[in-house]
Structure formats: structure tokens, C-alpha cells
Copies of this chain bind each other. A is one copy, B any other.
Amino acid sequence: MSKIKELGEFELIHRLSSRLKFRASNTVLGIGDDCAVYPVKSGANEVISTDALVEDIHFKLSTTTPETLGRKALSVSLSDIAAMGGTPKRVLVTLGIPKKISVSFLDRLYSGFNSICNQFKVELAGGDTVSSPKCFFINVSIIGEVNPGRVFTRQGARQGDLIFVTGTLGDSSLGLELLNKKQRRASSKDHKFLIGRHMDPTPRVREAGILARSKINITSMIDISDGLVQDLYHICKSSKVGARIQEDRLPRSAEFSRTCNRNQVDPFPFLLNGGEDYELLFTLPPDGVKNLKRQFLKAKALVTQIGEIALKPKKVLLEKSDGRNEFLPESAGFNHF
């Protein structure tokens, strides 16, 4: 097996980049020079973001494969673009590589990058590979396009707007719990599904596209990375409003419900505060609901109303199934420091 030291940086970059298959038709200059060069789409806005994943903070090499790690590193960034109503176009990937990492690990990591690039028509436009003495890290910067009239930010939710979420909640954090308990040997189909939702989340690029192309008045949007409540607080703070959500409405997968029941686990910490759902959380006035539901039904995509925006108090209130109400704290989400 060839070692990275023997290959050297330039050979390594050549080896990895030569495997990338997706190339945008309008690329002026791809990977391999000081910079990559692209024409910009006249009239579009550029939407940009950057995210790092660090070994033992965001992932463990013992519980992931290089392929799924590569997929997830890109998916998380694609989710940020989706959260603005944008279309992801290209990524720049930096790898911080400690000595323990082999060339074959990197080959498999790039195969993960490649599969997401092909799936979402995103170009890996450049990167940097650096030696990192102790821990492996991946940084992904992403550039997308967004229609200037359809930029969905956290700011703009108004009293009476309804709150919607795509997909189901809590799968990822329950999957992480299963991973950490190392119940993988005898893992059932349900466990596999939940762990897969954690290891290989689907960025809601398609759903963001449906919203962006529609005429629906989306007043605010975010992707759920820190947990439903914390990300809803981000919307509330930016929009200077409060929110009420109904316990009964929180969408959950059959796999999630069965696993909670079987293990007598309280589902609400996962539904409310579990991180890394990468679902879209957004608001719209009631008159857009019919259109929204029609569009999502047509696309066979899941969307659920979970509550509504209130003017006061500027907090997130949970309406429980037993009729009681509870103000939820802001910071029960993941604090990695």
C-alpha cells in the first residue's frame, strides 16, 4: 500500500482529483491551478458557507466508513445551501491528514465525495491537503446560486405564520445513541435505518428547490443541525418572535417510534433537541399551506406542520398532548466546546 509521504502532496492531489467525475459544463478552470475559475450566472446571487468536521468531535473513525464520512462532510454543507433556498454548485475541500491515515482511506473518502457530487451535480472545484500532526479534519466550503427574490433567511417569520418541517425528526440523534452503545452486532433493520440517518443524512436540496421554484411566501428558513428547538430559537431571535409547537405533531419515522417503544426510551429529547436532522424548518402564512402541501405531495416529499409563530413571549412553547404547556430552554442542543 502506498504511503502518503511517498506520494507527496502534488501526486496525492492528482491521484484524488483524477477520480472526480462530475464537472460543470461551464467550468473555465477546474482543480489544479492556484485557483479554480467559473463564470457567474448573471442575475443570480452567490450563496456561500463553510463547515469543518473534526475527528473525535464530529465523527469517530471507529464508527464510520471513509465513504460515508465523505458523503456526510459534503451533505452537511449542501444542507446549508438548501437552508437558504439555494442550489449548490461547487465545493472546496481541505483535508488535515495525520500519519495514521492511508492512501486507500483517502481514495474511499473521495469516492464518498464523488457520489454526493454526482447525485447533486456539484463540482469539487479545489482543495488543500495538509499534514495535521494529531487529528484528522475535513473542511468544506460551498458555493451555490440563489434567485435574488427567493433568498430564505432566518429573519422574517411573523405572528400567525405556520411552522413546517421536512422529513422526520430525531432519527439521527437516536441513531448516534445506538452507535455509541455499540449495539451494531445484532442491529435490526430499524437500527440500521436510524444509524444510516446519522451517518449519511440527506441534504434537503430537492425540497429547497420545490420551495424556491414555488410562489409560496416562505417567511423564514433554517436547516436543523443543532436540534429542532435550538434552531427554532435561531429563527425566533432573528425574527424577533416566539413560537408554539405541538408535541403530537412532531413527525417521526416508524423506525424511530418502534425503537423508542421497544427500549422504553422517551422520544422527546431526541425529537426536540437531537442534532443533525438536516431537515428544513420554515415558516409561511396560512394562505400558502394548500399550495405547499400540493407541491410536496406531487414530489412525494414529506412535510409537516408542527406549530405556529406567536408575537409574545419570545420563547418556544411546547403544547403537550396532556394539555399542559411548557416553555423550552434555548440551549439544550449540542455545545461542542
Residues in A lying within 8 Å of B, measured CB to CB: 4-5, 8-9, 12, 28-29, 33-58, 80-81, 83-84, 86, 90, 92-94, 96-97, 125-128, 130-135, 137, 139, 141, 143-144, 146, 148, 151, 153-155, 222-223, 238, 331, 335-337
Contact = CB atoms under 8 A, between A and B. Distances in A.
Contacts of A41: 40
A139 B29 contact: no
A96 B52 contact: yes
A337 B9 contact: yes
25 contacts: A5-B337, A9-B336, A28-B148, A33-B155, A33-B238, A34-B81, A34-B222, A35-B84, A36-B49, A38-B48, A40-B41, A40-B44, A42-B43, A50-B128, A50-B141, A52-B139, A55-B133, A57-B133, A96-B96, A96-B137, A131-B336, A133-B134, A135-B135, A139-B141, A141-B141
B35 A126 contact: no
Contacts of A45: 28, 37-40
B49 A92 contact: yes
A271 to B, nearest CB: 22
A141 B36 CA distance: 12
Nearest to A89: B46
Contacts of A128: 50-52, 139
A133 B135 contact: yes
Contacts of A137: 96, 132, 137
A92 to B, nearest CB: 4
Nearest to A53: B130
A46 B37 contact: yes
A18 to B, nearest CB: 15
A184 to B, nearest CB: 24
A54 B151 contact: no
Contacts of A28: 45, 148, 151
Contacts of A135: 132-135
A50 B131 CA distance: 15
Contact of A42 (B29, B42, B52, B331): B42
B132 A57 contact: yes
A314 B45 CA distance: 44
A335 B35 contact: no
Nearest to A154: B33
A49 B34 contact: yes
Given A42-B42, A134-B134, A92 B48 contact: yes
A20 to B, nearest CB: 15
